[in-house]
Structure 1
Amino acid sequence: MRIYTRNGTLYVDLRAEGLGRTSTGLKDTPYNRRIVESEYADYRPAKDFGYFARMYLRNKEIEVKPSSFQKYARIVSSVCAKFGDMPIGDIKVSNLSKWLDSLDVSPKTERDYHTVLRGIFQEAVYDDEITDNPAKKLRKPKLKKPEIEPFTPSEMERIIATADGWFKNLVMLGFYTGMRTGEIAGLKWDDIDFNAKTIHVRRTRRKGMNGDTKTDGSRRIIPILPSLEPALRNQYGLTGLRNGYVFMKDGKPLPDTLRLNESEWKSTLRRAGVPYRRMYNMRHTFIVTMLNSGHYPVMTIAKWVGHTSPQMIFNCYAKHVKSELINADFDPFGDDFGTLLAQSG
């Protein structure tokens, strides 16, 4: 802060604090100078919402993988367009609630906004700019639990029989391992051990970038079932000598599987006469098939698909489960699927 005179009037220069210059309206006298100095002695300009939003985003860039950071950055940009220039202490719960109600987004996306808002205001709490986090008082929208729709054994067989070439091999991998679609896109030949008959899941791939798996438990080892091995060996003949990614298109690694959903997956389902469901539903199908085989403990299945506990399995798939027995050396897809795979190469 700097006090100066212009035409006999006292001015205060606050540009160093991020503000401008302002007239006090007082004549330049020793007494008035003492008044101005006293009033501004403890002056600390209020920091705006955007200041803490940038702080929040810098921390997130360190904490999360690039694909997640992009989501946070989009939300922060949207929130700052509304509140960025406002002093953060002036923003009330009612301001946030009214704005969130105006958004045309799904309940899940709105919850993401809640998470970001809570994080930004918490940065201001840590910095002693505010004492209370208004975003914590927002009412969260209720989420409708998504319906799990696995493919039936007949539908799975028709999809595999209809798919062509390398995409057939990818589909088999999805149905017979329960790998997430991003994990499939990020799979490399170094991750596959034909001698030990295992697949190491080490990364995920989205929008052309590799990232860490969803959770620490997602880094895992999956057995190569007998029904799957012919497909992997077939794929090795297509891309194995390049010693890179397992699945490639037009000579390049798959950026992710989102484009395949349009270019390959939907077409395959139409030709197979199977109602549309996402590629991700191959994962659901694997889990339900394993559970209904009655030969694998739930904890084993949970580890294979990257869950740290069986609770998620019970919560999501209970209504699809018919039985649960234990036998760790059983291929639930059976000889018919093995024959189908061998013929499909």
Structure 2
Amino acid sequence: MSRRYGQSGCLVKKGNNWHGRFYVDLQDRRKRMSVPLGPIGELTKPEAKRKLRELLGQLGVNTEAHLLKATNVSRTFEQESAWWRQNKLSLFKPSCQETMGSHIDKYLLPRFSELSIDAVDERRVQEFTAELNRTELAPKSIRNIIGVLKLILGKSRWRDWNLVLPEVPEREQRYFTEDEMRKIINFVTGQWRVLFATMAGTGLRCGEVFGLHFEDLDLASCRISVRRSVWHGQEVTVKTKSGNRTVNIEPALAEMLREHLGGRAAGRVFETRNGTPFSKDQVRRKLVSVLDKLGLKRGGLHAFRHGRVSVLQENGVPGDLVKEWIGHSSLRTTSRYTHISPEFRERVAVEVGLFKPMLDPNGPNLQQTKDA
């Protein structure tokens, strides 16, 4: 569409009135408008022209903003989500692409696809949130779905919203205690024993363990370098920048890894009979089977990671070192992985007790406190 700059309009007589004619831009064409300016008997021709110029200025018909507003056809949510998927989501890690893509296909498109992107406002999103909350979806899942929706819409659209989202209940993550980890490791044999021992002794994410290569191990110095992860059988980068790290291990674990490798000097540390990386589902099934046979409460592979953090914290390892070994970006995240056992709480309460020096068979001797 060509642009008319600086139109001053045209003054015409219609009956006893002055009318001003000018053009406005629409989405598909330019339309001529005719607006009454006043009676001929009350306005001279120069006054009518001046009034027309003022009207054109108020309407802004000569501005670029007017043209852009008129020609900018609002995109649908489906179009916007497709653009976001191709140009932004494609730059995310494969695991994020799969999860977020599923949220778009399963929840967002069925609800908003035909709406213009501008019509997806706070009211509609709040109603959508309430609908999701009436399903069996967990509050955290609902928050994740709304999070993807916000990424597609862009912050400029939702910055001033005041959405009410379902509260995520406080629930302690399943973790393995030292005793449980030892039972699991001692129950299995062969590669499974070394695999579970590595997860328990390092706190590595399961994908990071599956992605270990021979060259990542410095067994003489008892160190493991984490450089990659495995997701759906493919080697990918680690989860975050902090995931690239070196983890110190105890000599006993180094010896187990040395025996497991035998004479090998290359390749993956852990792999299936077909030479492919382990999958999360495959190892989880084995773990659940072991837990059931041992009569222990079921837990996932992440329970090793939570258990390792808790062991380190209970043994007084500095928080910054725990964060570094585990590969977290902040101590706040590490604190969520810390689980303090009841036995440890009781032992600490005794060790820092105020009346410990005065204990006798009959209980605390408070008289000593008064005398002092």
Q: TM-score range by the shorter chain?
A: 0.7 to 0.9
For 2:43, the equivalent position in structure 1 comes to none
Deviation at 1:118, TM superposition (A): 0.9
> Judging changes above 3 Å, is the alpha-carbon distance between structure 1 residues 63 and 39 closer, same or farther for their aligned structure 2 residues?
farther
CA distance in 2 between counterparts of 1:63 and 1:45 reads: 27
Structure 2, gaps ≥5 residues long: 2-24, 34-66, 349-372
Deviation at 1:134, TM superposition (A): 7.8
User: What amino acid does structure 2 have at the position aligned with 1:300?
Assistant: L
Q: What is the SS of the residue equivalent to 1:228?
A: helix
Q: What is the SS of the residue equivalent to 1:213?
A: coil
Q: What are the within-5 Å matches in structure 2 for residues 113-262 of structure 1? A: 113-122=145-154, 125=156, 132-133=157-158, 136-237=161-262, 240-241=264-265, 243-262=266-285
Determine which of 73, 88, 94 is the counterpart of 2:123: 94
Structure 1, gaps ≥5 residues long: 2-33, 126-131, 325-345
Answer whether contact 1:204 1:213 (CA < 8 A) is retained.
yes
Answer whether contact 2:228 2:235 (CA < 8 A) is retained.
yes
For 1:299, the equivalent position in structure 2 comes to 320
For 1:82, the equivalent position in structure 2 comes to 111
1:46 and 2:74 aligned: yes
Q: Return the structure number with greater relative CO, CA threshold 8 A, min gap 6.
A: 1
Equivalent pairs, count: 284
User: What amino acid does structure 1 have at the position aligned with 2:143?
Assistant: R
1:274 and 2:299 aligned: no
User: What amino acid does structure 2 have at the position aligned with 1:235?
Assistant: H
Greater mean deviation of Cα atoms: 40-49 or 247-256: 40-49
Whose radius of gyration is greater, 1 or 2? 2
For 1:332, the equivalent position in structure 2 comes to none
Alpha-carbon RMSD across the aligned residues, in angstroms, is 3.0
TM-score of the two chains, using structure 2 as the length reference? 0.68
CA distance in 1 between counterparts of 2:335 and 2:169 reads: 18
Deviation at 1:234, TM superposition (A): 2.5
Deviation at 1:271, TM superposition (A): 2.4
Q: For each residue in 1:196-237, what CA deviation from the matched residue of structure 2 results, as whole angstroms up to 9, or x when unmatched?
A: 221011122121122222211111100121121122113212
> Judging changes above 3 Å, is the alpha-carbon distance between structure 1 residues 312 and 82 closer, same or farther for their aligned structure 2 residues?
closer
Q: What is the SS of the residue equivalent to 2:172?
A: coil
Q: What is the SS of the residue equivalent to 1:222?
A: strand
Deviation at 1:95, TM superposition (A): 2.1
CA distance in 2 between counterparts of 1:91 and 1:61 reads: 20
Q: What is the SS of the residue equivalent to 1:200?
A: strand
CA distance in 2 between counterparts of 1:162 and 1:212 reads: 32
Q: What is the SS of the residue equivalent to 1:308?
A: coil
Deviation at 1:68, TM superposition (A): 0.8
Answer whether contact 1:201 1:219 (CA < 8 A) is retained.
yes
> Judging changes above 3 Å, is the alpha-carbon distance between structure 1 residues 136 and 168 closer, same or farther for their aligned structure 2 residues?
farther
Q: What is the SS of the residue equivalent to 2:246?
A: strand
Greater mean deviation of Cα atoms: 306-315 or 163-172: 306-315
For 1:128, the equivalent position in structure 2 comes to none
> Judging changes above 3 Å, is the alpha-carbon distance between structure 1 residues 289 and 86 closer, same or farther for their aligned structure 2 residues?
same
User: What amino acid does structure 1 have at the position aligned with 2:323?
Assistant: A
CA distance in 2 between counterparts of 1:142 and 1:278 reads: 24
User: What amino acid does structure 1 have at the position aligned with 2:332?
Assistant: Q
Answer whether contact 2:223 2:248 (CA < 8 A) is retained.
yes
Answer whether contact 1:114 1:135 (CA < 8 A) is retained.
no
User: What amino acid does structure 1 have at the position aligned with 2:273?
Assistant: D
For 1:328, the equivalent position in structure 2 comes to none
